[in-house]
């Protein structure tokens, strides 16, 4: 199990010719999910027509940030500007959930038209379609299938959507892996570290990025509040302690950092040009094995280069859920 190095919420698009079924999904799926409902394959495909180009344009912005980082520009302020200036990123379709049996076509044929779209494909099946779905899954045509007649269909669907959401996106993961040092990559692959960071990110943020300079995660919650989770290898706390001393934080702070009680946000201050004394925050052991020490720093609106558009505002702009082409 890997930790996604870049994660954000995105749209989930359903296609099913059963209006009642779509209405049910619209009611039972949690309101924090961006859900779109379609009855007709033509309307669904029209919605998806520009998605490959939109994904490509977004990936180009990521690549641009990383190239600028290679040329000496800090990533933290770049990411904050990316979040401020690209609210449409939440509209990118991350998962399509398509019914197999539809008049005049089937879900596999519809999904097979999305050749260049890089999201997750899920198939809803009836009892008679299960073998077809198994073959499609084994052939890599779909990422998952769910029987429509399952007793707890809402629970099964939510579990599947959560799994897909927390699966690293191959291209974005490859891009952001470049900003990490080999030792950092190895640390993030330790199962106890992966589990701990998954728990933390899933309960706090709708979007985050893992960085290497400084080492940590920049996260954004539903209300647009930003946090920096600083990470330090527990066996190397002398390094941030020395940094704290160099920044003039005093011996008591230096000793507290060495003991794993505090972490200083020296590099955060440097990259964002934060005013005032260097901030410190209580340190905590991140994982069960004690390999990583972390500290959370809240970033206020005045700390940011530009105001951030909240995911909650994006959801409110979408209005109430309804079938698009009923």
Dist. CA 128–CA 45, nearest whole Å: 25
* 144 shares a domain with 19: yes
Secondary-structure breakdown of the chain: helix, strand, coil percentages, each rounded to the nearest 5: 45, 20, 30
Q: Are residues 203 and 289 in the same domain?
A: yes
Residue closest to 98 by CA, chosen among 211, 22, 200, 187: 22
- 61-65, long-range: CB < 8 A, 24+ apart: 61/86, 62/6, 62/172, 62/175, 62/176, 63/175
Nearest to 36 by CA among 58, 57, 21, 14: 14
The domain that holds 79 is classified in CATH as 3.40.50.2300
316 belongs to a structural domain: no
pTM recorded for the entire structure = 0.93
Q: Which of 239, 232, 237 is nearest to 187 (CA)?
A: 232
In percent, the amount of the chain with pLDDT more than 90 equals: 75
Tell me: the pLDDT tens digits for 94-144? 999 999 988 889 888 999 899 899 999 999 887 667 788 888 888 788 888
Say whether pLDDT at 326 is over 70.
no
Instruction: Judge if 243 and 291 occupy the same domain.
Output: yes
Q: Is there a single domain that holds both residue 24 and residue 102?
A: yes
* SS3 at position 289: coil
Q: Return d(Cα 136, Cα 134) in angstroms, integer.
A: 5
pLDDT in tens, 247-275: 999 999 999 999 999 999 999 999 999 99
Asked if residue 122 belongs to a domain, the reply is yes
Residues 252 and 201 in one domain: yes
Does residue 285 lie within any of the structural domains? yes
**What's the rounded mean pLDDT across residues 17-37?**
91
Provide φ and ψ at 172, rounded to 5°.
-65, -35
Question: Residue 89 domain-assigned?
Answer: yes
What average pLDDT does the segment 174-193 reach? 96
- Supply 44's token pair: 């669904």
Quick: pLDDT tens for 199-219: 999 999 999 999 999 999 999
Same domain? 136 vs 250: no
| Residue 100 included in any domain | yes
Tokens of 76: 């933290």
- Please tell me the total count of domains within the chain: 2
The pLDDT of 312-321, averaged and rounded, is 90
Question: CA–CA separation, 163 vs 172, rounded Å?
Answer: 17
Burial of 167 (0-12, 13-18, 19+ CB in 10 A): middle
**Residue 162 is part of which domain span?**
6-171
194 and 289 inside one domain: yes
Residue 320 lies in a domain: no
Give how far the C-alpha of residue 75 lies from the chain's centroid of Cα atoms, to the nearest Å. Answer: 17
Mark whether 167 and 234 lie in a shared domain.
Answer: no
């Amino acid at each position: 199990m890997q930790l996604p190095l870049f994660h954000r919420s995105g749209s989930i698009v359903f296609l099913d010719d059963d209006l009642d079924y779509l209405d049910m999904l619209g009611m039972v799926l949690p309101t924090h999910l961006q859900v779109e409902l379609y009855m007709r394959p033509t309307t669904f495909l029209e919605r998806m027509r520009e998605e490959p180009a939109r994904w490509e344009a977004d990936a180009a912005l990521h690549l641009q940030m990383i190239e600028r980082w290679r040329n000496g520009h800090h990533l933290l302020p770049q990411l904050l500007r990316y979040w401020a200036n690209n609210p449409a990123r939440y509209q990118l379709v991350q998962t399509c959930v398509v019914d197999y049996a539809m008049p005049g076509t089937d879900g596999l044929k519809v999904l097979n038209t999305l050749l260049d779209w890089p999201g997750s494909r899920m198939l809803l099946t009836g009892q008679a379609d299960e073998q077809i779905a198994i073959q499609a899954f084994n052939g890599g045509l779909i990422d998952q299938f769910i029987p429509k007649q399952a007793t707890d269909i809402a629970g099964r669907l939510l579990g599947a959507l959560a799994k897909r959401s927390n699966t690293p996106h191959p291209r974005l993961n490859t891009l952001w892996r470049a900003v990490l040092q080999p030792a950092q990559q190895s640390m993030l692959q330790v199962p106890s570290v992966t589990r701990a960071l998954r728990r933390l990110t899933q309960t706090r943020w709708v979007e985050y990025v893992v960085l290497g300079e400084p080492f940590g995660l920049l996260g954004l919650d539903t209300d647009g509040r930003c946090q920096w989770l600083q990470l330090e290898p527990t066996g190397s706390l002398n390094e941030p302690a020395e940094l704290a001393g160099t920044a003039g934080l005093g011996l008591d702070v230096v000793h507290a950092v060495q003991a794993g009680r505090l972490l200083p946000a020296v590099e955060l201050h440097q990259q964002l040009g934060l005013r005032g004394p260097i901030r410190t925050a209580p340190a905590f052991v991140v994982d069960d094995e004690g390999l990583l020490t972390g500290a959370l720093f809240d970033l206020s609106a005045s700390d940011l280069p530009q105001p951030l558009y909240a995911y909650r505002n994006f959801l409110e702009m979408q209005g109430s859920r309804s079938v698009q082409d009923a």
